[in-house]
Structure 1
């Protein structure tokens, strides 16, 4: 490889690495930002409308260009199925969860269950091999979930357990989403546009039953959360993730998602003042450790 090509490849790898870091910061901080919003006047319904209203309008031209009759090129059956898993139902549970439970719980329970379901689904659907490393990782995640469940039942605020159950629902619904995208060999960004556009069907219900006017919060707060929900999390985060994952390869890219609960937990302390209890720290630590163990794979050796 020439020096020019080597330098270009190194620059490309560094940009991909930086893009993956930005994507993880977006996804990890979303739990904290969303909880901060509902603690300061906005509701989960407001955030849902911002999420799919902004993202749906941005991605609507591409959806229509690929064909309305084919549901943006993926088919209506597949499109509706994926929208149920990554659109309104999943987002509603996530944003309802941050209304009742600490942001750190959402950042650990959801990704933890998604990892468990992805591993089991990969074995059942794609014939992946179960290794001792994967078993240890799953065991760590499940033990961590048990610790958080016990902490939720013994906490003075019983609503925390309800929020945790919402996050469990997020993991169960969202866990099958990447498996189906892989099974049907769909482009991630194309699927994102389909999910965002179909989820705009929620907007009329929001306007009829949940809209409280534009004076529920300062205009800059509404704009800020609209950008966070619709642009950063739905469009930019997935775009950066998709590009970076292809450049870095699965062995390297798979090491980044476990940083989501780390970011969400650490950011929740100064921003929200949410200091976890001892049992919560143990549960979060077990889930993060399990995610790292399950996702850590050796990079392939370079050919001689």
Structure 2
């Protein structure tokens, strides 16, 4: 599979504001798609979907859409990635990580998972970049990591003081999935695999889980929840949180460059809390809002180059 030349066209558009505006619009669209994916997960669990049901919606539709691409590029060596590496990526950034993440929302409110998971992904990514990839980490990024930890401590205090052991378990689940995604991103850089190629391969390989899901009675369970709820999850999980977000983010990188586009994933926690408040009626608590402000400040510092 040919890898997109991410960021290759960015310098040519510096004098033209139109591509930059389009890049910003695509980046904001990607962040909103990811936020809507979090919100649809929370809604789906509340109306009766299981984590396995949401997993089916997340990967089946994108897997079917991407199957012709993988077949054309070569299924034998999994589009040049290789089956060994493909299966590792599938665990760390695919259905295994996703079903663990979905389970976390059974224990804690939306504001916890939508903040803790991306925060731990950022912290883990910074550590692994320095330890394994030997990248230089600036003082600003180290200080940003410390601020993020402070924000996570505030949110964790809410779990300990107000939710109880289940809340702590839920938070730890999102710490785990955030760190899994950090390893996933690090391996993508180390193996020089594009994000789009990885997402395509993971979606298609995940189709192999569909017979297991069907044999467990999952299809009958989701059909009982009605066409409307299933259509909502198919759009929220299978379209917005998957291919749509990936395409928009990749396009924003192409127009703006990696460094400028990196700010958009940092907007996901705030957008998730806002959309969850508007659509689900779950306003953030004072501790969640405080932790969010700290985390966003840390995100900003962690993305600076100096």
TM-score between the two structures when normalised by the length of structure 2: 0.89
1:188 lines up with 2:226 in the alignment:
no
Contact 2:39 2:276 in 1 (8 A): yes
One of 261, 267, 270 as aligned partner of 1:253: 261
One of 177, 180, 184 as aligned partner of 1:177: 184
Partner of 1:75: 82
1:45 lines up with 2:52 in the alignment:
yes
Partner of 1:102: 109
Q: Quote the Cα distance in structure 1 between the aligned partners of 2:199 and 2:14.
A: 33
Residue 226 of structure 1: CA displacement?
0.8
Gaps of 5+ in 1: 299-304
Count of residues in Structure 1 that have an aligned counterpart in Structure 2: 294
Q: 1:160 to 1:210 in 2, by over 3 A?
A: farther
Q: Deviations over 1:145-187 (max 9, x none)?
A: 2222221122246433222222111101111112111111112
Q: Quote the Cα distance in structure 1 between the aligned partners of 2:13 and 2:183.
A: 38
Q: 1:158 to 1:11 in 2, by over 3 A?
A: same
Kindly report which structure 2 residues correspond to 1:1-304, keeping only aligned pairs within 5 A, or say none.
9-156=16-163, 158-211=165-218, 212-297=220-305
Residue 69 of structure 1: CA displacement?
1.1
Residue 138 of structure 1: CA displacement?
0.6
Residue 278 of structure 1: CA displacement?
3.0
Contact 1:44 1:99 in 2 (8 A): no
Point out the more displaced range, 123-132 or 72-81. 123-132
Residue 111 of structure 1: CA displacement?
0.6
Q: Quote the Cα distance in structure 2 between the aligned partners of 1:130 and 1:16.
A: 27
Contact 2:53 2:222 in 1 (8 A): no
Runs of 4+ residues deviating >6 angstroms = 5-8
Contact 1:42 1:216 in 2 (8 A): no
**C-alpha RMSD of the superposition:** 2.0
Contact 2:36 2:236 in 1 (8 A): no
Q: 1:57 to 1:219 in 2, by over 3 A?
A: same
Gaps of 5+ in 2: 1-11
Contact 2:36 2:241 in 1 (8 A): no
TM-score between the two structures when normalised by the length of structure 1: 0.90
Contact 1:55 1:234 in 2 (8 A): yes
